[in-house]
Structure 1
C-alpha cells in the first residue's frame, strides 16, 4: 500500500463583497445592416479605452500613487471604475460591445436574489431557486448573496430579458443540460463558472410560468443558443462539458462572447447549424477579449455561414486547430495572439490557425477569411482567402511587444472574477486526480473571508499535481 501523506494547502485568495413580456424570436432574426460598422465600433471603443488609460497614467503619475482604474478593456472599464458598482449593477447592460451590444438582459427589471441552490423539480421549481427566476415572463436581474454550486437535474431553459449576475460571489453551474436559450432574446450571462455539463432530458421541463413540455435528450452543452438573438456572455469560466462549451445555431444572431476563459475541452464553440441551413447566413457573432487556455483541441470557433468577428483574443495552444469553418462563413480576425502547440513532434498542420472543413481548395478559395494585425507565435500561421488574399501583418503587431502586451492586458481578467477565477478549471482537474483514493474523504474545505484551507490526503505520485496548485495559489506546509 502506498504511503499516504497528509498535506495542508493554504490558498490565499482575493476577498470580495458580499419590458414586461418575453419576445419570441423567429428562426431568421434580422441581421445588422452594416457588419463592418460594428467591427469598426469595437476597434474604436478599444482604442478610446486604451487612450484614456494612457492619459490617466500621464496626468496622475505625479498626483497619486493609487492604482489606476482603466485597463484598456472597454467592457471592464465601463463598469469596474465605478466604486459603487454593487449598488448600480444594471449599469453592466450598457457595457456590451459588438454584435451583442443591444442585449438588455434584465435591465429596468426587479432584482431577484437566488437563496436556494437546489434544483429538485424542473416542472414546478421552488421560489428562491435559479430555475424559478429564469422562466419568469418579466425582466429580472438575478444575483447571488453568497457562493453557490447549482447542480442542475435538467437543462435550465431561459425566458427573455434575464441577466445572471454572479459578481461578488463564486457561482458554479453544473449537471444536466446546462443552459438553454431557445427562441428568446435579451439575455446576459455574467461572471459564473459553467462546467461538467452532461446530457439530460427525456422528461418534462418548464420554460415559462404557463408552459412546460417534454424535452428529448440534450447534448450536454455548457450554453446552447438556439434561434435566439441579442445575447451577451461575459466573464464566464467554461470547461469539461460533454458537447460544446457554447453552441449558437438555428438562426441565432446578435451575439457577443467576451472576457471568458475556456479550457479542458475538445469542441469548444460551434456557430451555425449546418452548411445547408440558410438562415444561419444572417448570423453575426463577436468574439472578443477571451482567453482560450490549456487543453483545448478545436472549434475556437467552428463556423458555418454567418459573419464572425474574432478580435483581441489570446489563443494559447490548440491540438488540432483554432478557427475552422465550412459553408462559406466570413471570418474577420483582428488583433489576436495565436500561440501554436509547443509539442516538438506536432505536424506542421497543427501550427495552422485555420482549418477549412468538408471542402476542397477550389471551394474555399472564395471564402472571406482575413487576418489583420494578428500576432503569430511559435510558428503559428493563418491561411487567408477570398477578396484579400495577403495576410496583413503590421509591424507593430508582429514584432512590437506593445501589441503583445496589449493582448495580455485586455485578456488578463478573462473568466469569472474574484474567488475561483480563471484558474479554477486547472484546480478542478488536479482535485479530481489527487482526491480519488480509497482512504476516505477527499477534501475538507473551510472558507474564510481572505483564505481557503484544504486538507488533502494524497498519494505521493500525485504530488506534482498538488505542487501545481501550490505554485498557482499559495504556500505549502507538510505535516508528517
Structure 2
C-alpha cells in the first residue's frame, strides 16, 4: 500500500511540473512558442467558448470563474445544486426589500433636508446631495465612495488607496501599458482612485480589463472613452465608474490583453459594450453619459450582483441594458440591481433594462424616449418600479412600458412586477403581474419613493458633470 501511494505521489509531482511549465509558457514571457500554443488552444476551444467572453487562462483562474464558464457550456450538473448555488452568490442579500426601504429612506431624508433649507444646492437626490454641495469636493474625492445607495451601495472602489493621475491618453500596448495611461492604472493589484490631469479622448485598442478595488473618476475633466474598445469588469469586485463619456464602442479582441501585473491572456472577440459586467459584484456606475455602442450600454451577466446604476444619461442606442446571461443560467437568480435617477433620453429603442432572473429596483428614473418598450423580462424577474416618469412615444402600438419577452401570459401572470407612484404620460401604461398586481401587496410601499413629479429635479444632473475644483459641482 505504501509503495502504491508513493507511486501516485510521484506521478502527481511529474504532472505538476509539466503543468507549471505550460503555465509559464502561456502567462509569462509571451514568446512565439507561447503564442503558437495559445493559438492551438484557441482553435480547440471555439465551440466551448461560443456565447461567452472568457480567458484562455492559466492556473490563477479562480474556481468561481471556472464554475461560471462550465455553466455557460451547459455543464450544470444537478439542477437542485445549481439553484442552491444561485442563492449563495457573494454580494447578494437575503431580503432585497430591505435594501429598497433603505433607498427610500435616503431619498426621503435628502428631500426633507432640502425643504428645510439645509442644502441650498440640494435636489433631493441622495447621492448628489452627499457630495455635490461641497466646493472642495476635489480635495476629498474618495468621499464619493460613501455616497452610494441600493444594491451596489457597498462598492468602495479605490477609496482606501492612493490617487493615480492619468496623464497620457494613449493605449498603444494592451500587454505592457505605459505608466501614466488609464490601462496601467486599472490593472494594478492595489486599490487606486484614478483621476485625469486634463480633458482627453481615450481610444482603447482592446478591452479595458479592470482589477478589483478601482475607481475611475472623471470629475474635473472632460473624459471620453470612445471609438474603440470599452470597459470590462470581469470576475472582480468593488469597482466604481463615475463621470465618463462612453460612446461609439466597437468589437475588439482576438488579441493578448493584460488583466493584472502578473497575468495576461488571449481575449476572444468582445461584443462592443460600453460597460460589460461579467461574474462581478459590488459595482457602481454613476453620472456617466453613454451612447451609440455596438452592443449594450451596460450589460451584467454570469452571476453578477450587488450593482447600482445611477444618475446616468443614456441616448441613441438600441439595446440599452441587458441584465442576465440567459434564461437557463440560474446563478443569475441572485442578481440584484438598483436603477435610480437615470435619464433614458433621445434615440433609445428597448431594454431599459431587459431582465432575466433576479430582483430589480427601478426608482425615480426619467423615461422620455423609447420606440419598442422600456422594461422587459424573460425568466421570472422581480420588477419593482417606483416613482418613475414614463413618457410614451407617439406610436400607438408602443405605449406599453413593459414587455414579457417570448413568454405566454399563462406563465408571466405569476411574475412579480409592480408599479407604484409612477407617472404615466401620453398614454403610457404598465402591466403589473403576480403579487404586484394585487392591492394587498404592500411590502416596502410604506416607505414609497419620492413623488414622480420630482423626477425632473432629481435627474436634472444625469450624465457626466462639468465639474471644476473650487466650486460646487
Indicate the TM-score class for this superposition, using the shorter chain for normalisation.
0.7 to 0.9
The CA distance in 2 between the partners of 1:171 and 1:337, in whole Å, is: 29
Would you say 1:408 and 2:456 are equivalent positions?
Answer: yes
Alignment-derived partner of residue 34 in structure 1: 95
Alignment-derived partner of residue 52 in structure 1: 113
The CA distance in 2 between the partners of 1:351 and 1:69, in whole Å, is: 36
Q: CA deviation at 1:83?
A: 2.2
Aligned residues of 1:287 and 1:309 also touching (Cα < 8 A): yes
Q: Please, which of 370, 382, 392 is the counterpart of residue 330 of structure 1? A: 382
Alignment-derived partner of residue 362 in structure 2: 310
* 1:141-180 superposed matches below 5 A: 141-180=193-232
Q: Deviations over 1:61-107 (max 9, x none)?
A: xxxxxx91221110001011222111000000000000000001001
SS in 1 for 2:418: strand
Q: Deviations over 1:111-158 (max 9, x none)?
A: 000000000100000000000000000000000111010000011000
The CA distance in 2 between the partners of 1:317 and 1:242, in whole Å, is: 20
Aligned residues of 2:364 and 2:452 also touching (Cα < 8 A): no
Q: CA deviation at 1:391?
A: 7.8
SS in 1 for 2:338: strand
Alignment-derived partner of residue 396 in structure 2: 347
Aligned residues of 1:265 and 1:295 also touching (Cα < 8 A): yes
* 1:113-262 superposed matches below 5 A: 113-262=165-314
Q: CA deviation at 1:317?
A: 2.0
Q: CA deviation at 1:177?
A: 2.6
Provide the TM-score with structure 1 as the length reference.
Answer: 0.77
**What root-mean-square deviation, in Å, do the aligned CA atoms of Structure 1 and Structure 2 show?**
2.1
The CA distance in 2 between the partners of 1:116 and 1:99, in whole Å, is: 34
Q: CA deviation at 1:404?
A: 4.4
Aligned residues of 2:308 and 2:338 also touching (Cα < 8 A): yes
The CA distance in 1 between the partners of 2:438 and 2:460, in whole Å, is: 30
The CA distance in 1 between the partners of 2:150 and 2:280, in whole Å, is: 16
Q: Structure 2: any 5+ residue segments left out of the alignment?
A: 1-60, 69-85, 443-449, 469-473
Q: CA deviation at 1:339?
A: 0.2
Alignment-derived partner of residue 435 in structure 2: 387
| 1:404 to 1:367, Cα distance in 2 relative to 1, 3 A | closer
The CA distance in 2 between the partners of 1:178 and 1:383, in whole Å, is: 35
Provide the TM-score with structure 2 as the length reference.
Answer: 0.78
Would you say 1:367 and 2:415 are equivalent positions?
Answer: yes
Q: CA deviation at 1:23?
A: 9.7
Q: Please, which of 231, 255, 265 is the counterpart of residue 317 of structure 2? A: 265
Would you say 1:97 and 2:149 are equivalent positions?
Answer: yes
* Stretches of 4+ aligned residues off by more than 4 angstroms: 22-28
Q: CA deviation at 1:34?
A: 1.2
SS in 2 for 1:388: helix
Alignment-derived partner of residue 406 in structure 2: 358
The CA distance in 1 between the partners of 2:246 and 2:320, in whole Å, is: 13
The CA distance in 2 between the partners of 1:320 and 1:136, in whole Å, is: 42
Alignment-derived partner of residue 14 in structure 1: none
Q: CA deviation at 1:359?
A: 0.7
The CA distance in 1 between the partners of 2:399 and 2:436, in whole Å, is: 22
Which protein, 1 or 2, shows the higher relative CO under an 8 Å CA cutoff with sep ≥ 6? Answer: 1
Kindly tell me the number of residue pairs found equivalent between the two proteins: 380
